[in-house]
Amino acid sequence: MSDPEILLLRPGATMPNSRLPVLIYRRVLEGGARGFDALFRSNGWGGTWRNGVYDYDHFHSNAHEVLGVDSGWASVQLGGDVGQAIEVEAGDVLVLPAGTGHRRIGKSEDFAVSGAYPPGQEHYDTCRASTPEAELRINKVPLPPTDPVEGADGPLLRLWA
């Protein structure tokens, strides 16, 4: 698989974002993309769930997050008001560093994602505005030991070094 697209986001008034880039993997899985739970688990990411993406800006101050699009498509605003809207569709994966603002701004009726977290980060918080305390937590989140898509040799380890 080729390297993911990368997106660097600057801090905003309400979303702290991260010095680490968002990673966007395109067309990781085909045929309905229902295998993300197994893929993420096989690469050491856990706390999996299946749902959607909230329609309000939020971030996680104590966890990195991976989102795999199981079905449909969506437009997702990354980084809050200073960020960028991107389109994702079934088979795509977003890897969001701790602190990255995200919200859904449009979707198909069948849009669904699977999410997961690195080891020890499965009990994540959900923050709607940046605070000094949240920024301290973000800076203490350890880097994942593996890439959720490509495992121990995946590009996340190099791109987030």
Side-chain-side CA neighbours of 120 within 13 Å: the count stands at 7
DSSP-assigned beta bridge partners for residue 104: 76
Reading the block at residue 150, the tokens are: 């490509």
**Confidence band (pLDDT; 50, 70, 90) for 73?**
very high
pLDDT of res. 31: 59
Q: How far apart are CA 114 and CA 122, in angstroms?
A: 14
Residue tagged 């121990």 (tokens)? 152
Choice between 2 and 68, residue whose per-residue pLDDT is larger: 68
pLDDT of res. 110: 96
Dihedral angle sign, alpha carbons of residues 153, 158, 160, 161: positive
- Domain range holding 66? 5-159
CATH at residue 20: 2.60.120.10
pTM of the model: 0.96
pLDDT in tens, 77-88: 999 999 999 999
**Confidence band (pLDDT; 50, 70, 90) for 2?**
confident
Dihedral angle sign, alpha carbons of residues 94, 96, 102, 103: positive
Q: How far apart are CA 75 and CA 85, in angstroms?
A: 6
pLDDT in tens, 113-147: 999 999 999 999 999 999 999 999 999 999 999 99
Q: What is the mean pLDDT of residues 71-78?
A: 98
pLDDT in tens, 12-48: 999 999 999 999 999 999 855 569 999 999 999 999 9
Q: What total of structural domains would you count in the chain? A: 1
